[in-house]
């Protein structure tokens, strides 16, 4: 009971601190938590912004889906074959510190400001952590199980699907969880750079126009999306890999 | 692993990078992409060398590095302190855990408008964003490392008469060091990414600003230069951290 209530209490506590801080600072551009919450229904009730949210979520789902579908097989192969691993590792290391959303201006030059550019950026942002975690997971699979599988006549492809994949699943799902938060972050950033549609567009347009309660209301909405998606994924993960204890029960999120 | 396998691994790893550059060159040479959209690799390199020698570009790099290090250092100090405190003290744990649970999956970029409104458009808002993003991986890694310290080590220290405060610094902190450094490594890459993004959103200097200015004036060559620079910076910083790590962890079994 306490465990379930704690995150909600933490949310309320943070909102209370916000409320007090803004009351104390008396800054015009820093609305109180209550004012920001009051602005939420207006945003969610507006048809335009709902269309924007829909477009954002669609891009995010497509980008995330493709990234997972490509990255898991690649990561697993890298984990099981040293050749494949040393083939891809340096390339991934070079790409890693590049901010994916920063590629947006260049990709926009080639593909325009539409859905393809944004989805591609989300895809790039999600794939690296998923590849990395699948790689680590596949590397740690116990050799004996693979030998037993080979002795029982499983082909290399079958061993991959029925031994390596399930054994690496907890690690893979950790990667997917990081990827999910990343997808949200990349989505917001890409929309902020290509201001055309989406949640990021609403947020940064409100900032430019000085509608500060909309800015803070959008921050609450986007934050709630992050926390909600993460909790949902965690539920699914707990079902899929009931047999394994998670290492960290909080995802590492970054852009 | 002998020297020969390492060289062949390196050569294998170079293949995709060389291929990438070759495809890039081919796209330009065979007129599939106009030079204005995709400048040839040599021209980018030339421009890169020219820029690296120019004083203005060096100042941009310095501005970016300053924000990166300031944010990262604050994140390290806060993350290690809170991580250790939460691992050794149940009361602090009960408070910190749910707050981290809520804040970690929150997309921090969405907080950036709020930071801008609160602390202004200068260094502070960027440094705070870097801190907010780098903090959680370091905090979680510290917490995880410190809470899995072998109990026997603590008991032996207690039996030898070490006061509790010193146990924290002489036993728990060194034992958690490998995990903390792993967290710092993730945090460092995140800092690279985030500082760039923050500079892209609003800034008057820094590498991110160089990219945005190039994008506004459609100078494709100048768009590649800051991206490559941040990738190189990431690799160099990663290498430096690796050196620090092998110095701090000398004497650890396979660190």
**C-alpha Rg value of chain A to the nearest Å:** 21
Q: For residue A86, is it within any domain?
A: yes
A253 interface with B at CB cutoff 8 Å: yes
pLDDT tens per residue across span A222-243 = 888 888 888 888 888 888 877 6
**C-alpha Rg value of chain B to the nearest Å:** 23
Q: CA B243, B245, B250, B252 torsion: positive or negative? A: negative
A-chain CB neighbours of B105 within 8 Å are 181, 226-227, 229-230, 250-251, 253
pLDDT at position B65 is 92
Q: For residue A179, is it within any domain?
A: yes
pLDDT tens per residue across span B162-215 = 888 888 888 888 888 888 988 898 888 888 888 888 888 877 888 888 888 888
pLDDT tens per residue across span A127-174 = 988 998 898 888 888 888 888 888 888 888 888 888 888 888 888 888
> How many A/B residue pairs have CB atoms within 8 Å?
188
Measured between CB atoms, which of B106, B220, B227 is closest to A102? B227
Nearest to A203 by CA among B112, B193, B211, B133: B112
Alpha-carbon distance of A109 to A100, in angstroms, equals 15
Nearest to A249 by CA among B54, B100, B3: B100
B240 interface with A at CB cutoff 8 Å: no
Q: For residue A96, is it within any domain?
A: yes
**Number of domains chain A contains:** 1
Burial of A193 (0-12, 13-18, 19+ CB in 10 A): buried
B108·A255 Cβ contact <8 A = yes
Q: For residue A1, is it within any domain?
A: no
Checking B118-126 for CB contacts under 8 A at 24+ apart, the result is: B118/A27, B118/A29, B118/A30, B121/B202, B121/B203, B123/B66, B123/B67, B123/B70, B125/B198, B126/B67, B126/B71, B126/B195, B126/B198, B126/B199, B126/B203, B126/B206
Weakest-pLDDT range from A110-119, A244-253, B130-139, B140-149: A244-253
A-chain CB neighbours of B100 within 8 Å are 250
Contacts with A218 (C-beta within 8 Å, 6 or more apart), sequence order = A43, A199, A202, A203, A206, B110
Q: For residue A101, is it within any domain?
A: yes
Alpha-carbon distance of B105 to A180, in angstroms, equals 9
Q: Is the pLDDT of residue A252 over 60?
A: no
The two structure tokens encoding residue A156:
């290399």
Q: Is the pLDDT of residue A255 over 60?
A: no
Q: For residue A13, is it within any domain?
A: no
What predicted TM-score, i.e. pTM, was given to this entire model? 0.83
**Per-residue confidence band for A70, with pLDDT thresholds at 50, 70 and 90:** very high
Q: Which domain holds residue A83?
A: 32-240
Q: What is the ipTM of this complex?
A: 0.78
A211 interface with B at CB cutoff 8 Å: no
B-chain CB neighbours of A14 within 8 Å are 99, 102-103
Measured between CB atoms, which of B102, B104, B200 is closest to A193? B200
Q: Which residue has the tokens 């126009």?
A: A209
Looking at per-residue confidence, does A99 or A250 come out higher?
A: A99
Cβ atoms within 10 Å of A233's Cβ, excluding its own? 18
Nearest to A240 by CA among A171, A149, A152, A192: A171
Q: CA A115, A118, A123, A126 torsion: positive or negative? A: negative
Q: For residue A141, is it within any domain?
A: yes
B206 interface with A at CB cutoff 8 Å: no
| Domains along the sequence of chain B with CATH | 45-248 (1.10.3720.10)
**Helix, strand or coil, per DSSP, at residue B254:** coil
The residue in chain B having the minimum alpha-carbon distance to the alpha carbon of residue A229 is: B105
pLDDT tens per residue across span A87-111 = 888 888 888 777 787 788 888 878 8
Q: For residue A11, is it within any domain?
A: no
Q: Which residue has the tokens 């039996």?
A: B159
A243 interface with B at CB cutoff 8 Å: no
A109·B9 Cβ contact <8 A = no
A210 interface with B at CB cutoff 8 Å: no
Measured between CB atoms, which of B102, B111, B134 is closest to A10? B102
What CATH number has the domain bearing residue A139?
1.10.3720.10
A-chain CB neighbours of B17 within 8 Å are 90-91, 94
B215 interface with A at CB cutoff 8 Å: yes
């Amino acid at each position: 009971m306490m465990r379930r209530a704690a995150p909600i209490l933490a949310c309320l506590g943070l909102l209370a601190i916000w409320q007090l801080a803004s009351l104390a600072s008396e800054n015009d551009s820093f609305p109180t938590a209550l004012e920001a919450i009051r602005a939420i229904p207006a945003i969610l009730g507006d048809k335009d912004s709902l269309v924007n949210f829909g477009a954002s979520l669609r891009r995010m789902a497509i980008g995330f889906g493709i990234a997972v579908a490509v990255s898991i097989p690649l990561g697993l192969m890298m984990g099981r074959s040293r050749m494949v691993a040393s083939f891809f590792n340096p390339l991934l290391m070079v790409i890693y510190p590049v901010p994916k959303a920063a590629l947006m201006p260049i990709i926009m030059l080639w593909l325009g400001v539409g859905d393809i550019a944004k989805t591609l950026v989300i895809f790039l942002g999600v794939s690296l952590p998923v590849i990395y975690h699948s790689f680590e997971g596949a590397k740690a699979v116990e050799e004996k199980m693979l030998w037993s599988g080979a002795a029982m006549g499983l082909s290399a492809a079958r061993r991959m699907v029925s031994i390596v994949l399930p054994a690496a699943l907890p690690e893979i799902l950790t990667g997917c969880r990081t990827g999910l938060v990343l997808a949200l972050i990349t989505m917001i950033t890409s929309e902020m750079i290509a201001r055309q549609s989406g949640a990021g567009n609403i947020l940064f347009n409100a900032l430019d126009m000085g509608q500060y309660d909309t800015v803070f209301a959008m921050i609450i909405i986007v934050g709630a999306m992050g926390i909600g998606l993460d909790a949902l994924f965690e539920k699914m993960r707990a079902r899929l890999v009931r047999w394994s204890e998670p290492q960290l029960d909080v995802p590492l999120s970054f852009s | 692993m002998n020297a020969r396998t390492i060289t062949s691994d390196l050569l294998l790893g170079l293949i995709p990078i060389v291929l990438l550059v070759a495809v890039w060159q081919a796209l330009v040479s065979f007129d599939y992409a106009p030079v204005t959209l995709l400048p040839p690799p040599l021209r980018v390199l030339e421009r890169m060398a020219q820029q690296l020698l120019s004083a203005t570009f060096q100042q941009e790099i310095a501005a970016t590095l300053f924000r990166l290090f300031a944010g990262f250092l604050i994140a390290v100090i806060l993350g290690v302190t809170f991580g250790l405190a939460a691992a050794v003290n149940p009361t602090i744990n009960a408070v910190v855990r749910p707050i981290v649970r809520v804040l970690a999956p929150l997309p921090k970029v969405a907080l950036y408008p709020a930071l801008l409104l609160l602390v202004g458009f200068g260094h502070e808002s960027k440094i705070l964003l870097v801190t907010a993003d780098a903090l959680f991986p370091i905090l979680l890694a510290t917490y995880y490392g410190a809470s899995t310290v072998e109990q026997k080590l603590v008991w032996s220290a207690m039996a030898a008469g070490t006061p509790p405060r010193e146990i924290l610094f002489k036993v728990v902190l060194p034992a958690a060091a490998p995990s903390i450094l792993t967290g710092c490594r993730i945090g460092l890459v995140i800092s690279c990414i985030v500082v760039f993004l923050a500079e892209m959103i609003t800034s008057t200097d820094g590498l991110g600003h160089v990219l945005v200015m190039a994008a506004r004036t459609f100078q494709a060559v100048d768009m590649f230069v800051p991206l490559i620079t941040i990738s190189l910076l990431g690799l160099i910083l990663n290498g430096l951290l690796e050196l620090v790590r092998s110095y701090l962890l000398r004497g650890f079994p396979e660190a």
